[in-house]
Every structure is written in structure tokens, then in C-alpha cells.
Structure 1
Amino acid sequence: MKSTVRMFCSGVATAALLAAGTVYAQADNWKYAFEESLTEVQGVYATKFKEAIEANSDHTVELFAYGTLGESADIMEQAQAGILQFVDQSPGFTGALIPEAQVFFVPYLLPTDQAHLARFYKQSKAINEDFESLYAEQGLELLVMFPEGEVAMTTKDPVRSCDDLDEVKFRVMTNPLLVEAYRAFGATPTPLPWGEVYGGLQTNIIQGQENPTFFLYSTKIYEVTDYITYTGHNNFTTAVMANKDFYDGLDDADKKIVEEAAASAYDYIVEYQKGLAESELKKITDAKPEMTVTVLSEEERACFKEAAAEVEAKFIEMTGDSGKAILDQLKADLQATAN
């Protein structure tokens, strides 16, 4: 059963939603919240999803960008409570709710090749079958997962090896395995909500963070860091979900409309991201020519790859047989979609 806490959102979020109309007062007005701005990758995906729903039905979709309804924890509570019909949230935040979702933070599990990733997320049994049942246990219908780009570290000092992260307070999402990953890398992991990251870097409370390149530009994080480092250790994953009671209550025609909207928006966002990292990185270096950008060599990545084995073992320890089965299936799926 959901806890009392999860049945209510913050006063600000409640007021915003009441202004938009109650959940079921107008059944054809669906609410969708996500963790980025309307012009960032999740927002672009949401816009295409909305366009597909509205083009093929009488329903409307109302979009709520990051901060409108609170932090990531708030929008997940609202989705589980049925206040929101749809939510886009990274497994980085749902990892505490669905421990197996932390598998996406095992370093060097995912490839950096974007074409391979596009096939993998679309065809993976682990994602499209195994995770679907795990999300359902939490009152969520998993519609799709998609990649948002290779993760880069941004820091105040250069990073060429794990030794360079020693005593660096590195911001991570509130995800237990991501904490373990940065601890294994040699840093001091510091979980913080996103709203506190810019100020934390500005005041030196933290000295580093990680995110896809487009997000480094759009959030202006480059203004308060001096080094961008690509270690190849991860690709940012996000998941689009529906409240399960809402989804199960749809007739077959509406379910098909939702599924087709999710699929068409997926195809669009994969194409949209081609070349995005390169173009956004150029914007960063144009805005801040003194920014140092480094792609680590295989030799320089060695210590990070060695740490990955420790993090993988920690993941299995945290999640037991269920987690190991998910991990094994993901590896099989990655191999099957390699070409």
C-alpha cells in the first residue's frame, strides 16, 4: 500500500494542479510532468508525445516542466497518487523505489555508440518486459525508456585518473548505486537535488557533477566549472511512465493511441539527438573558450573500469537474484543489438 506521504504533494504543487483542474474532473485532459525544461530532451520528447495524442484523439495533454510541480521526488509521488497521468523520470531517482533500476548506473555497462543504444532501448527484453512488471508493482505503467546522451563529468580541477577525484565532493542524484560508483572512483559522493547544484558549485560546497552535454549547456553549469571530462562510463537513461490505474482504465483504442504516441516520440527523439552533444559542446566552448574539454584515453580510463567491477558486485549485493537476472538480461540484450 502507498504511504500517506505518497498520497499528497507539496502545497505549491497541489495549488498548481488544482489550477489546471482535478485529475478526473476532465478525463480527456491528461497531465504529464518531466525533469527538464520544455526545450531540453525530455521536453522535446513530451512535446512530440502530446502532439501525437492530440492529433489522433480528442484528448489533450498538459505538460509540466521541471520545477513547476516541485522536485523529482514530488512528481513521482504525484504520478503514483494519480494526480499526474504521465511522468518522465530517470532511474537515478526511481532507484530507491525500484532498486533494480539502479542497473543503469553500473559503469561501462552501456555503450557510447548512439545507434547501438537506439536499437537496444527499443528491442531490449529487460526493458520492455522485465522492468515493466517491476514498475507495475509500484503503480506505474512503463511506456518507454530512452537515452539522453553520454554522461560527462564537470569539475573545478582536471580529471585524468581516479586519483584526481580524491576528496572531491561530487554531486550525485539520490541513488544508492551512483553513490557507490563515485565512491569507487575515489570521490566523496554528495547527493543533492538538482535545484541546489549550481549554487553548490558556485560556493564550492561541491566541486563536481555529471550530466549529458546538452544539459551542461542548457543549465549553464559550465559557468561554475572549468573542466569537462568524458570517461565513457555511462549514458543518461530516462523512463516515461503512466499511472497504472489510469492506464488500466483506458479502453483498448486509447491504450493503442498512448503506445503509438510513445513509440513515435521515441523514434523522433533518437533522431533529434544525432549530433546534439557536439553542437551543444561547441556552444559551451564558444561561450567559455577557457573551458578545458578532455576525452580520456583507454589507459586513463583503466582505473574507472576497474572500479566498475566493484560497483557491479555492489549492485548484485543490493538487489539479490532479481537484480542479477536483470543485469544478465541487459548484457544479453546489449550483445543481441550490437549490430
Structure 2
Amino acid sequence: MKKRNLALLTSGLVLGLTACGIEQDDNNGGTNAAENNGNNNTNNAAENDSNDNSNNNVLDIDETFEVTYSTWASEGEPAYQGMEHFKEMIEERSGGNITIEIYPANQLGSTIEQMEQVSTGTIEMMSSGDPGLDEIEYLSLPFLMASNDHWMEVLESDTGQEFNQKLIDDQGLRTIGILPRGPRVISSNVKIETPEDMSGLSIRAPAVDYYVATFEALGASPNPMDFGEVYNGLQTGIVEGQENPLETIYSAGFHEVQDYIINSNHMYKPAFVTINNEFFESMPEEYQDLFLEAAEEGEQVATDKLLENEADMIQEMEDSGVEFVDPDIEAFKEATQSVRDEMGTEVWGEETYQEIVEIGQSDLN
């Protein structure tokens, strides 16, 4: 993984307080994701000897800080393991002068409530899948982001910095990294290889404009039922399919009542590691750099664990009778082109939209 530009990150990858209409459940991990097969990985990633070289040099600073870190993720999930690595690296490198307490599974409230707490300084940090700003939220338009790395390329670009500086000024929030999640895929009782196979398909999708527009463009009939009702909806046939990251499909047990997983990879949406900006700037520069370095290493730990868990999840799903299908991705991209173009231009303007598209193309070359 390439080294992040710390100067760019220090200038502020940030979030805001507006909720953008995104549901807490499947977009932010939700309590269902707490049951992720990542619980089988009991070894804390922070204990990995390969990272000893990052933890040997204790900073000679006497100032002490206490950090409360709230998250949607539950213990054992890849993202949580990345957070644990972040915590332990900082505590070790600060010689114990910085202590971090992580509160998993939305213990401290909803995503919006957590954002408010971080913004006001009631707590210092949080992780969430809701960026709280349209300019960042709509980077999840269908087939716009090619990977989690593409996300970071955009956020580290001049365009991304403009989005983020606005938020750091308005909301007092700073993002110091991301936690990767798998791309969103489709589960269904119908084998889907082309958009034509989705014609009239009743599919559960979040009640967010670009999600609804995406599946309407594919010919499906989106149903915005509550996430907690999806399993029963699939089981009883109220809906024939749904879409989520693979780890969420597995943790929620949707594969138990679905015949196919369609590797559509239609959207990427990472979680963001956010800190109160006033608190961040109150720390010595060496501590600020340590937080950025630890966030980057935590991202890599979460990525590695996500990939490790994916193989096990796929195997278990296949053993239960689920068939994985590789659809005609180009046909899906073409069918949703108007959604990307129209909404992207509306949110960013034509010039910025094309800049974002070009960053992705450059990242893939």
C-alpha cells in the first residue's frame, strides 16, 4: 500500500453533521454487522509482530490526552481490528501518555448523535460510513468509484481538499483516514447476469435517491424497507433480492434465504475515521503525525482482515448452496450511466464531475 501524503491528510479530510438521508443500518455497518464472521479472527491485529518497527520509538513528550472513540463496528470485525491497531500503536508510541477507549456497536448513540458529540467535543473520535456532506456522499454513485484506493485518490486531490476544508471550517471535524469495506453486491433468488434479468425484480434498497435511481435504471423495482425487516422480507418473498457489502450479507444471514450472490460491485463506500479538529490541533505536532500514521496502518490492518475473512465467507456461503455469479459489468455500467452523469453534474458541476471521473481512470492505469 502506498504511503499516504500526511501533509494532505493534515490539511483535513473531514466530515459534516448533515445525515444525507443515509440509513444507519447497512450503510454504517449497523448492529447486524456485529455478527460478522470477523469474530472468528480473535487475534488482535495490533499484536502483529510485523508492525513492531512502528511501535519501537516512544515519543519524548510529557503531555497526556484521553480519547473516547465511538464506532458502529463490533469487536472482531475487520474495521474494529483496524481501530484496535490504531489504539495500541498510539498508546505504545506515546509511552502511555495517550489513552484511547473504543466504544463499539453504536453504544454512544446513532451516527448523527455521535457526529454531534465529536463536533461539540463531548467525545474526541468516531468512525462512520456516513460522510455527512453531499459532495462526499455522492462519490458512492453507481460504478463511479473503482476501489477504496480510488476514494482516497479523490479525497487527497485538490477537489477533495476543497470539500473537506469547507467541512472543517463549518463543523470542526477532521477525517484522518478511512476504514475499507467491501463493494456492494446483489443477493437474489433470480440469477442475474445482465440488466435485463433485473426487469421487474423487487429489490430492497436504501431510501436514498441515488440508490433508488440506480435500481430503477437497471429495470428493478426498489423497495426501501427497514433493514431489520429484510431477512423476513426475503424469506417470505416480499422482496426477491437486496444489496449490501458481502460482509453485511453474511453477518445478517441473507445468504440463508437467497440463491445467488451477484458480484456487481456497483458501489464502494468506506467508513471514515473522524476526530474533533480542535482536539487534534491541541496536540503537539508529533502526536498529530502519530495519529495520521496509526490511522494509515489501521486502514491496512482492516484491509488485510477484510480480505482474509472474505475467502471464508464465500466458502461457507457456497457450502450452503449459494451460487456466485459474475455479471456483465459493462452492461450494468452503461445502464446506470445517466444516473452518474445527471446526479454527478447536479452535485459537483460538470467540470468537477469530470475531474473525479478522470482521477479514477488515472488510478486504474
TM over 0.5: yes
Corresponding residue for 1:15?
none
Corresponding residue for 1:88?
127
Tell me if the contact between 1:201 and 1:207 (Cα under 8 Å) persists in the aligned partners.
yes
Tell me how far 1:44 sits from its aligned partner.
1.9
Tell me which amino acid in the other structure corresponds to 2:362. Answer: A
Are residue 294 (structure 1) and residue 320 (structure 2) matched?
A: no
Tell me how far 1:238 sits from its aligned partner.
2.2
Matching residue within 101, 104, 107 for 2:139? 104
Tell me how far 1:106 sits from its aligned partner.
2.1
Q: Deviations over 1:243-298 (max 9, x none)?
A: 23332333323322211211221233333344543332112222x1x212211135
Are residue 48 (structure 1) and residue 85 (structure 2) matched?
A: yes
Corresponding residue for 1:188?
221
Q: Which moved more, 1:73-82 or 1:141-150?
A: 73-82
Q: Deviations over 1:53-94 (max 9, x none)?
A: 21122222222222423443443343334333222222xx33
Unaligned runs of 5+ in 1: 4-26
Distance 2:233 2:71 in 1: 23
Corresponding residue for 1:309?
337
Corresponding residue for 2:26?
none
Partner SS for 1:282? helix
Q: Deviations over 1:101-141 (max 9, x none)?
A: 233322222336xxxx5476268416862442244233320
Are residue 255 (structure 1) and residue 288 (structure 2) matched?
A: yes
Matching residue within 249, 262, 272 for 2:305? 272
Corresponding residue for 1:14?
none
Q: Deviations over 1:129-182 (max 9, x none)?
A: 244224423332021235322321112333233344344443334533222222
Corresponding residue for 1:157?
190
Are residue 35 (structure 1) and residue 61 (structure 2) matched?
A: no
Corresponding residue for 1:12?
none
Partner SS for 1:148? coil
The alignment of Structure 1 onto Structure 2 pairs a total of residues equal to 301
Q: 1:73 to 1:238 in 2, by over 3 A?
A: same
Aligned pairs for 1:48-87 (under 5 A) are 48-57=85-94, 58-87=97-126
Tell me how far 1:229 sits from its aligned partner.
0.5
Q: 1:204 to 1:135 in 2, by over 3 A?
A: farther
Partner SS for 2:265? coil
Corresponding residue for 1:201?
234
Tell me how far 1:42 sits from its aligned partner.
1.9
Distance 1:156 1:102 in 2: 30
Q: 1:182 to 1:243 in 2, by over 3 A?
A: farther
Corresponding residue for 1:215?
248
Are residue 334 (structure 1) and residue 353 (structure 2) matched?
A: no
Tell me how far 1:201 sits from its aligned partner.
3.4
Partner SS for 1:109? coil
Tell me how far 1:320 sits from its aligned partner.
4.1
Tell me if the contact between 1:32 and 1:64 (Cα under 8 Å) persists in the aligned partners.
yes
